[in-house]
Structure 1
């Protein structure tokens, strides 16, 4: 047993997920929690799984397991993640990669975009407006989106915690219908251009050192033949540009990880544009965060161990989370 294994055994890990009313989603969350717990146990941690009820704060906090570090398992809405972060803060329990500020900022996509714009992080084009603005002059906003964003464009809620999915509009009829559908659930729309090019993901949290970033190509952002030359090989100008933009964005968002940034390189251009950010990514083995780090040579169990170690140390308990058995 390597040095640090005893410390791993002393740290109690609570793998948690919120009960879902959807049976299929509930099953996926259970499977994700079981898989995550097995990976953590393989790293020498005492990990228990706990399903949290959908209810008031007292009911949920009473169900949170006695643990030193919590890890959310499965895909949750931003609203659910904000609740988890708030409950953990009240209980004084560290949550790997889920801070209250990050959960709130990650849900407000307009605020996130504007913060990045203030730090001059290159981004894809976007427009935002409220329901009252739309009712006053919908024709103006339709024309503005057509001229600025073009077709196809993505129409989604500014608050990603509202549970409404983004839609793609290929013409004015679809654009108007998508906007009106979003306004049935929330009060502000975020419209974004669709960048025709290749897409990449940059992951923070999971590296051996704090602030380490892994980059991976996700594939075309718009249907086109694969281009091996577009892949960000180590040390290439493209990878260097993505890492540079990622460091600037993560610093602007004060992200400590885990977090994901998504970039695209427009066809025929060498510049990199940020298209989205996820400050509360799915940490399971099937998520993009895990895929990016696996591509960089970090196994899933090791990635989780590093996330636990970072949460433990940020909670003011340094020295824990050393290497476990291989």
Structure 2
């Protein structure tokens, strides 16, 4: 292996969060130490076509440059080849084209375990959660079931799929109204960045919101409204994960939706959050428990509600591939915890390599002979 670590950055993708991924990739490319790393970009179009360009030696001039829409970009088969040339003896020169993959994909086909399975098949180290943790972290319904098993407190919720809704929507409307009341939040089960999320204040809005959420997934989850502060914690590590100081979000809109997160830049962040020390420690401990419950690795951002009238803590969700945009909480919370951006990237690369090395100890042949 050469003196520099070759990192393949994968971004874009077939997802409603495609543009968010581009922002994340642009930010990350600008923070890598190019004296230590060679960066090879892999762009996935909204149609799922893979493209790759030359090795980067400096940050691209603009987000638009990340799309490889003209000139010199190889496509799908050729672009995928560098990820698989480590199999069956390696590339022609005996070395892989990339030493580790850093997926910067958000949402469907990016943080749901599908592309993680591709990297597993290629037997290549990659940053972040594995197949299981990614899938559970992406599916809010399965995530909440795991949290319940772990004994983590959470808001009341109900869920159903498209077939169930079409067969008996009146039953599920009644169930939501009795168990949750209004207002309530309606979300696609498998998506992030608040895409497809609505707040309903009455039955008419509930029905409209459910139908809207079904545009993005075949399963929908409905959650009770809690008048609460929104607290977030960054988690970093593999088996011995650690939590950052908590941060607090105050949304610029009625709730922390896509516009508030990525567009207007008016939502405020307080890092560290103004919390009693025992409350902060409880939240940090619960964040690590949630990370371990889904078998997380590398990184996650864990989101909580802190109910205003009694300071009751509720876990909301785990995000296994949080954003690294200028407005993103994950790197900002670690910066406040004493881990600057470049060191954070170094650590994530090292964690990916360590996890991969550990997995090589597993006997996948099924040969029971000793």
Answer 1 or 2: higher relative contact order, Cα 8 Å, separation at least 6: 1
Determine the C-alpha separation between the residues in 1 that align with 2:188 and 2:211: 11
Matched, 1:105 2:136: yes
Partners of 1:262 and 1:55 in 2: how far apart?
A: 33
Residues 19, 130 of structure 1: alpha-carbon distance in 2 compared, 3 angstrom cutoff: closer
Deviations 1:9-38 (A, max 9, x none): 44211122135799x955x65554344234
Q: Which residue of 1 aligns with 2:39?
A: 47
Q: How does 1:117-128 map to 2 (within 5 A)?
A: 117-128=148-159
- Residue equivalent to 1:322: none
Distance change (3 Å), C-alpha of 1:41 and 1:123: same
For 1:241, the equivalent position in structure 2 comes to 282
SS at match of 1:16: strand
How do residues 249-264 of structure 1 correspond to structure 2 at under 5 angstroms? 249-264=290-305
- Higher alpha-carbon deviation: 189-198 or 54-63: 54-63
Higher mean C-alpha deviation, range 297-306 or range 281-290 = 281-290
Unaligned 5+ segments in structure 2 are 51-75, 84-95, 256-267, 360-370
- Equivalent-residue separation in structure 1 for 2:358 and 2:186 (angstroms): 43
Distance 1:210 1:8, change over 3 A: farther
Q: Are the equivalent residues in 2 in contact too, given 1:9–1:46 (CA < 8 A)?
A: no
What RMSD over aligned residues (CA atoms) do the two structures have, in Å?
Answer: 3.4
- Which of the residues 196, 199, 207 maps onto 1:168? 199
Distance 1:223 1:215, change over 3 A: farther
Conserved? CA contact 2:5–2:38, under 8 Å: yes
Which residue, out of 214, 235, 238, partners 2:244? 214
**SS of aligned partner of 1:258:** strand
1:130 Cα deviation after fit: 2.3
The two structures have a TM-score, normalised by structure 2, of 0.71
- Range 152-161 or range 247-256, more displaced: 152-161
Name the residue aligned to 1:181.
212
Q: CA deviation at 1:51?
A: 2.1
Corresponding residue for residue 314 of structure 1: 355
What does residue 80 of structure 2 align with? 61
Q: Which runs of 5+ in 1 are unaligned?
A: 1-6, 319-326
Aligned counterparts of 2:41 and 2:214: Cα–Cα separation in 1: 37
d(CA) in 1 for partners of 2:352, 2:286: 25
Structure 1 position 184, deviation (Å): 4.4
CA contact (8 A) 1:69 1:94 kept: yes
Q: For this pair of structures, how many residues does the alignment match?
A: 303
Instruction: Write out per-residue CA displacement over residues 131-152 of structure 1, whole angstroms, 9 at most, x where no aligned residue.
Output: 3332333223212212322222
CA contact (8 A) 2:246 2:280 kept: no
Name the CA distance, whole Å, in 2 between partners of 1:158 and 1:146: 19
Residue 10 (structure 2) aligns with? 16
The answer for the alignment partner of 2:329 in structure 1 is: 288
Please report how far the alpha carbon of residue 280 of structure 1 lies from its aligned counterpart in structure 2 after TM superposition: 2.2
User: 1:31, 1:154 → 2: CA distance?
Assistant: 27
Question: Higher helix share goes to which structure?
Answer: 1
Partner of residue 64, structure 2: none
Summarize the Cα distance change of 1:63–1:150 in structure 2 as closer, same or farther, 3 Å threshold: farther
Distance in structure 1 (CA, Å) of the matches to 2:2 and 2:329: 26
What is the TM-score of this pair, normalised by structure 1? Answer: 0.80
